[in-house]
Structure 1
Amino acid sequence: MIIIATSDVHSPRYLLYYMASLSRHAEDCKKASLVIWAGDMVERGRVEALRPVLEATQRKCPEARIVAVFGNEEYMSREHEFVRAYDNVVWLNDSYIVVEEEGKSIAIYGSRGALDRPTRWQRRNIPGIETIYKRRAERMKIVLSQLRNRTDIVIVVTHYAPTYLTLEGEKQEIWPELGSRAVERALLEARPDIAIHGHAHNSRRLEAMLDGIRVLNVAFPARKDITIVKL
């Protein structure tokens, strides 16, 4: 099974580079069963900016189901607009789907994720953001544990980093505003197979093992490319 994963295209900022990357990996894209977008696929909540991203993806990955989570640039206040405008994308928002592939059941749980320290903007503009992040991590642990017992492969997709391991290269003092140790603890308890995230544009460690859990930072600005995941 081939999965194409990316995030942080910030369309239109990196749109042409994303399209070129899809072309470079044309054969894998044709065979891909899933495309995963780990958030921030548009710039500043621009709902219409996702259209060329979607069209380019569908041209190059015609057989793939597109699964997405929201990032901080897909504003919470506009989630319903993205869902309504792009109903052929599976939007996961602290929710999951299960797909069957080659006799295996594969669960994909998606969420924005959480931060250990909300940004100054979030503290000013999102009431109760600390509580939201705490509950999000708790829900993730419960649902992932259930999926672990019911399915063969469990993949978790978040926008924010679920561990600090893949934040190396970012300024260490802002790591709490890029990822979450609470989510890391949830993963260590629930034991998914793969954790995919974005958000960390300057990361130099793009892949890590978290006690046997494969963690991938698929942020396009960090990789300068899409990510091919083969199960």
Structure 2
Amino acid sequence: MEIIEGGNPQKKTRIAAVGDIHVKETDHGKWTEYFKNVGREADILILAGDLTDTGHLNEAEILKEELKACSIPIVAVLGNHDFERDQQKTIKKMLESDQIHILDGEAVVINNIGFAGIKGFGGGFGRYMLSMFGEQMFKSFVQEAVDEALKLDRALAHLESNYEEDLKKFVVMHYAPIKETIEGEPHEIWPFMGSSRLVEPINRREVEAVFHGHAHVGTLEGQTSAGVKVYNVARPILQRSHQLQHYIYEV
């Protein structure tokens, strides 16, 4: 866990959140002004996965250069597109810096706000979740979501045990922990959009809010069974339905 102090703790912190920016090899110069503007409008930037379009290292290099225009701390997770070429570990290492925190079961505290991050995984929701039964291939699929939920729980536990009791905790992930924020996507692909297994540590650890992406035709806002707000900040949703470049959350 990293602890980064800064700013006035009495002042409200503005968190900008966006996912699925899908940076391409041809995007050199495209994002500079965007990241400059985010730095003017917010105090922390969340990137909720699918940072690159195809997981190519050249795309990650372009993103690394573009992010130099961003003047505020960045908390990010990787998405399924970043895993496409099995270069996710290299992408994470390329992008990380004192300012940029790529979380994969880790936690970071910035301006007295805690962030825990995972990629997440699929598996479906509620009584339609895939069960740990049958062929080994199905068991492995389900186990991936279980492992991601355990990673999230450990990261949240670190925030609870290493900082003040009233620390506000936020979760960043790529896949959805609830079905409400993927409403709009075809029902046939819901099992690949996220999993209810991810929500248990969110409810139990009293998280303030969750930010995810992945579902480009989903719904901006929902909440867990315990009332935790969940925001699908996939950029296509923000742009198409809300004419936003990023979502702003004030703490």
* TM-score normalized by the length of structure 1: 0.81
- Partner Cα separation in structure 2 for residue 15 and residue 110 of structure 1: 26
Q: Tell me if structure 2 keeps the 8 A contact 1:148–1:192.
A: no
Partner in structure 1 of residue 17 of structure 2: 5
- Partner Cα separation in structure 1 for residue 33 and residue 230 of structure 2: 22
Partner in structure 1 of residue 89 of structure 2: 80
1:157 to 167, 172, 176: 172
Amino acid at match of 2:119: R
* TM-score normalized by the length of structure 2: 0.75
Amino acid at match of 1:144: L
Q: What are the residue-to-residue correspondences of 1:1-231 with 2, within 5 Å?
A: 1-12=13-24, 19=31, 22=34, 26=37, 29-59=39-69, 61-62=70-71, 64-75=72-83, 77-88=86-97, 89-99=100-110, 101=111, 105-116=112-123, 128-145=140-157, 147-148=159-160, 150-151=163-164, 152-203=167-218, 205-210=219-224, 211-224=226-239, 225-231=245-251
The share of aligned pairs that are identical, in percent, is 26
Q: Tell me if structure 1 keeps the 8 A contact 2:53–2:81.
A: yes
- Partner Cα separation in structure 2 for residue 6 and residue 219 of structure 1: 6
Q: Which has the larger radius of gyration?
A: 2
Unaligned regions of 5+ residues in structure 1, if any? Answer: none
Structure 1 residue 14: Cα displacement: 10
Structure 1 residue 192: Cα displacement: 0.5
Amino acid at match of 1:46: H
- Give the aligned CA root-mean-square deviation in angstroms: 3.2
Structure 1 residue 19: Cα displacement: 3.5
Structure 1 residue 113: Cα displacement: 0.8
Q: Tell me if structure 2 keeps the 8 A contact 1:4–1:29.
A: no
Structure 1 stretches of 4+ with a deviation exceeding 4 A read 13-16, 123-127
